[in-house]
Copies of this chain bind each other. A is one copy, B any other.
Amino acid sequence: MKTAWEGKLLNYLKNKGLRHSEARTKVASVVAESEEHFDIQQLVARVQKKYKDIGAATVYRTVKTLVEAGILRETFQGSAGVSLFEFTSEDHHDHIVCVDCGSIFEFHDEALEAIQARTVQSHGFEEVRHQHVIYARCRLLQKGTPE
Interface residues of A (CB under 8 A from B): 16, 76-77, 81, 83, 96, 98-99, 105, 107, 109, 111-112, 115-116, 119-120, 123-138, 140-141, 143, 146-147
Contact = CB atoms under 8 A, between A and B. Distances in A.
Nearest to A105: B123
Contacts of A129: 134-135
Given A96-B125, A128-B99, A134 B112 contact: no
For this chain, the copies found in one complex come to: 2
A138 B99 CA distance: 33
A96 B109 contact: no
Given A115-B112, A125-B96, A120 B136 contact: yes
| Most chain B CB neighbours (cut-off 10 Å) among A124, A129, A140 | A124
A107 to B, nearest CB: 6
